[in-house]
Amino acid sequence: MWKNIIDKNLIIINPEISNKKELFEAMATHVYNHDYIINQKQFLKALNTREEMANTELIPGIALPHARSNSVEKLFMSIIIIANGIDYKHEEMGPAKIIFFFGCTENQNKEYLQLLAQSNRLLKKKKFREALLDCKTQDEVISILNKFDDEVVTSHEKERYL
Pick the CATH number of 2-155 from 3.30.70.260, 1.20.120.420, 3.40.930.10, 3.40.1710.10: 3.40.930.10
Q: How far apart are CA 88 and CA 100, in angstroms?
A: 13
pLDDT given at position 157? 47
The lowest-confidence range among 18-22, 91-95, 118-122 is 91-95
Tens digit of each residue's pLDDT (9 = 90 or more) over 9-25: 999 999 999 899 999 99
pTM above 0.75, yes or no: yes
Binning pLDDT at 50, 70 and 90, where does residue 88 land?
confident
Mean pLDDT for all residues in the chain: 87
pLDDT class of 151 with cuts at 50, 70, 90: low
- Domain ranges (residues) in the chain: 2-155
Mean pLDDT on 75-93: 87
Give DSSP secondary structure letters for 91-136.
GGG--EEEEEEEEE-TT-HHHHHHHHHHHHHHHT-HHHHHHHHH--
| Alpha-carbon gap, residue 143 to 93, rounded angstroms | 28
